[in-house]
Amino acid sequence: MVSSTIELLKEELPVNQESLVLSEDVKTGLVLVDIVNGFCTVGSGNLAPTQPDEQISGMVDIPEPPYPPHCIAGTNESKLVPALQWLENEPNATLRCKDCIDGFLGSIEKDGSNLFVDWVRNNQIKKILVVGICTDVCVLDFVCSTLSARNRGFLVPLEDVIVYSNGCATFDLPIHVANTMKDAIAHPQELMHHIGLYMAKGRGAKVVSEVSFGA
């Protein structure tokens, strides 16, 4: 039933994906959203997968309903996945421990400045390539806020917000499981991943299925 619904949805709401070739002539920034143990590593927290998840393998101190407390700062859940922990000592990487679902809003400092906005401006970034978890939650919220800020002229010289579909994933909560949980709603993984990409593209992001480097 779910698979047939997904196929019907993809026919009625297609997400046409392009191929992206990165050029040295255009400065591109890579944004990694929530690729931390609490979302990716089996058994690492309330919202971590309970078993190996093909989509995930291939939000934070202040819980936001309807999600339970997760990825609390200072815990193993909040740490980058092992394959990316080298970024913690990389001088060219800017890391932000956000305290809300939306990473754009989570980058606002107490003085009103925004770490992400400063990063774009200071590095004269014209394109950002966004990957991460969850496609339809944290990734989508960040993409939509970034597009709105770009459209208002707050992110000059940023031109394109690009979502790499194969670099994003979301969680799976089948309806038969959701029905056993208080206040839970079903969240079929493949369906919601597609909807997240569709909504991002509808808001003005580019969605790509392949990324390569130009000669």
Q: What is 2-213's CATH number, 3.40.30.10, 3.30.565.10, 3.40.50.880, 3.40.50.850? A: 3.40.50.850
Could you report the per-residue pLDDT of 28-56, keeping only the tens digit for each? 999 999 775 544 443 444 444 445 545 43
Reply yes or no on whether the pLDDT at 19 is more than 80.
yes
Q: Return the pLDDT at 4.
A: 82
Could you report the per-residue pLDDT of 90-105, keeping only the tens digit for each? 899 998 888 788 999 9
User: Per-domain residue ranges for the chain?
Assistant: 2-213
d(CA 19, CA 210): 5
Q: Return the pLDDT at 80.
A: 62
Q: Return the pLDDT at 61.
A: 36
Q: Return the pLDDT at 36.
A: 59
For the chain, what percentages of helix, strand and coil (3-state, to nearest 5) are there? 35, 20, 45
Could you report the per-residue pLDDT of 168-185, keeping only the tens digit for each? 999 888 899 889 888 888
> What rounded mean pLDDT belongs to the chain?
82
Q: Return the pLDDT at 76.
A: 52
Mean of pLDDT values over 2-24: 90
Residues counted in the chain = 215
Q: Return the pLDDT at 79.
A: 58
* Residue 209 vs residue 37, higher pLDDT: 209
Q: Return the pLDDT at 214.
A: 82
Q: Return the pLDDT at 173.
A: 83
Q: Return the pLDDT at 215.
A: 65
Tokens 């740490």 belong to: 79
Could you report the per-residue pLDDT of 68-86, keeping only the tens digit for each? 444 444 455 555 667 777 7
d(CA 47, CA 89): 27
d(CA 52, CA 62): 27
Q: Return the pLDDT at 191.
A: 93
Q: Which of 136, 132, 127 is nearest to 201 (CA)?
A: 136
Reply yes or no on whether the pLDDT at 1 is more than 80.
no
Q: Which of 170, 156, 158 is nearest to 198 (CA)?
A: 170
pTM for the full predicted model: 0.81
